[in-house]
Amino acid sequence: MENYEQFLEKVEDALTLADKKKDLNIFLSLEEEKIRSSAKKIADEMKTGNAGILAGKTVAIKDAIITKGTITTSGSQILKDFVPPYDATVVERLISNGALLFGKTNMDEFAMGSSNENSSFGPVKNPVNPEYVPGGSSGGSASAVAAGIVDMALGSDTGGSIRLPAAFCGVVGMKPTYGRVSRYGLIAFASSLDQIGPIAGNVSDAALLLKAIAGHDESDSTSSTAEVPDYPNLLESDVKGLKIGLPKEYYGEGCDKEILDRVNDLIESLRSKGAELIEVSLPHTEYSIATYYIIATAEASSNLERYDGMRYGFRGEGSELSEVYSSSRSKGFGEEVKRRIMLGTYVLSAGYYDAYYKKAQQARRLIRDDFLTAFKEVDLILAPTSPTTAFKFGDKMDDPLAMYLVDVYTTSLNLAGLPGISVPVGNSSEGLPIGVQLIGKPFEETELLQAAARVEELVSS
């Protein structure tokens, strides 16, 4: 059978599987007819040999990324009817590279959360075991890949939202360096931390997807002009002589023993292949959660100001403008989003700005400096992605601080602007996936993907 025929069959199978797994609540929209007609168009291009590098691949898109003509909600009731008039740059790039866009995925409202329980459309269930959360906020994207419905998915990561669900669902997820991928058309949560990245079933697909979406974009002045390497064709490397840093702050109390055991097994295999494992210190790690939740909420309170009931989506009742604003925002936003707006407004307010926001900016600098100092000694850093495996629904919902602590190993990369990738390293005794995180120097995605490919080989051997 020809390639394109196989592709059309694969698309039909994926639609059937998505329907069969409806209860997992992965997709917020799945336009079957549009998917079929795009698939035919791509198949025609495959026939004539004009297809792009992603031809034959199905890609799900987190609903925080806008898609022309397809409802985009960012997981919020306030945007439940919002139909964007244009495509995000990453979406344009997927289409021009021949990808088949396969549905918009469920997520925590405005990407605020670690479990998907903050979605205003009900949470996604973890395909590995539906009694457990898939992680957040890109839980729908990670689950779409883990359930075998799509080859790849786009997520966004502000404090761990690609890496955490990838770890919880047993797939690969990468947050690129800040500026590597255009944010134009990503519904903003915290603009100095947000970054779009790939989620995939293996490192090679993640590299392919990154290649397609990375690179400068005139519409995003923070996107880098650095050339985009040919990631998928640069995956060969040797572990021998590779200097891998193990930050002692990431291996202490607070991390599940089973996770540490798996990561330590991997460390031993890397050592036996000739890698040099070196203990490093990132002394300001203990400030990362507090720093992140001040900066992220401050930026969110400003970014979310635009949802006033006038310009987009849901409009509340009221006889005066201020009443409409207030009822639109009170009813349109969920609890966690309101909590973050309150926190963010507080830390930016006159009288508290110096004590919180300014201090957080100073701590952010120290956190970045820690990494840059460590990178003078090592090529990359290896640590668990998360201190726990997936937890059960409801376990942490009454305690926002416990939920925030799930991000303890992921937020500092966003604060420092560094790339990180989570790769599966096996399962817990309960059968829940465990992820290991590799952290790289700015714009060294190639080296990071190479190391991730070696980890993948070692784990499957």
Q: What is the DSSP letter of 320?
A: S
In whole angstroms, how close is the CB of 407 to ligand GLN at the nearest point? Answer: 5
Q: CA–CA distance from 144 to each of 14, 159, 163, 405, 446 (Å)?
A: 10, 21, 15, 25, 25
20 catalytic per annotation: no
Beta carbon nearer to ligand GLN, 159 or 384: 159
User: Out of 115, 161, 182, 301, which one is annotated catalytic?
Assistant: 161
Q: What is the DSSP letter of 172?
A: E
From 115, 137, 138, 223, active-site residue: 137
Convert 402-440 to b/e letters by CB count within 10 Å (16 or more is b).
ebbebbbbbbbbbbbbbbbbbbbbbebeeebbbbbbbbb
Active site includes 161? Answer: yes
Least Å from the CB of residue 171 to ligand GLN: 16
* Closest separation in Å from C-beta 312 to ligand GLN: 20
Q: Are 424 and 172 in contact (CB under 8 A)?
A: yes
186 vs 377: CA distance, rounded Å: 35
How many alpha carbons fall within 13 Å on the CB side of residue 436?
A: 30
Nearest approach in angstroms of CB 190 to ligand GLN is 8
CB 220 within 8 A of CB 191: no
Output 112 or 214, the one with its CB closest to ligand GLN. Answer: 112
Which is nearest to 383 in space by CA: 266, 288, 273?
266
- Among residues 190 and 208, whose Cβ is nearest to ligand GLN? 190
- Report the nearest approach of ligand GLN to the CB of residue 301 (Å): 13
Q: How far is CA 3 from CA 44, 48, 145, in A?
A: 11, 12, 21
* Residue with Cβ nearer ligand GLN (314 or 404): 404
Token pair 């609540």 is at which residue?
Answer: 25
- Asked if 418 and 246 touch (Cβ cutoff 8 Å), the reply is no
Q: Which positions lie near ligand GLN, rule CB under 6 A?
A: 111-114, 137, 157-161, 189, 296, 407
Which one, 316 or 400, has the nearer CB to ligand GLN?
400
Task: Tell me the closest approach of the beta carbon of residue 406 to ligand GLN, in angstroms.
Answer: 7
CB nearer to ligand GLN: pick between 42 and 166? 166
Q: How far is CA 161 from the centre of its chain?
A: 4
Using Cβ positions, the residue closest to ligand GLN within the complex turns out to be 161
**Cross-strand pairs, 58:** 100
211 a catalytic residue: no
- Active-site hit among 21, 57, 62, 441: 62
- Residues annotated as catalytic (active site), given as ranges: 62, 137, 161
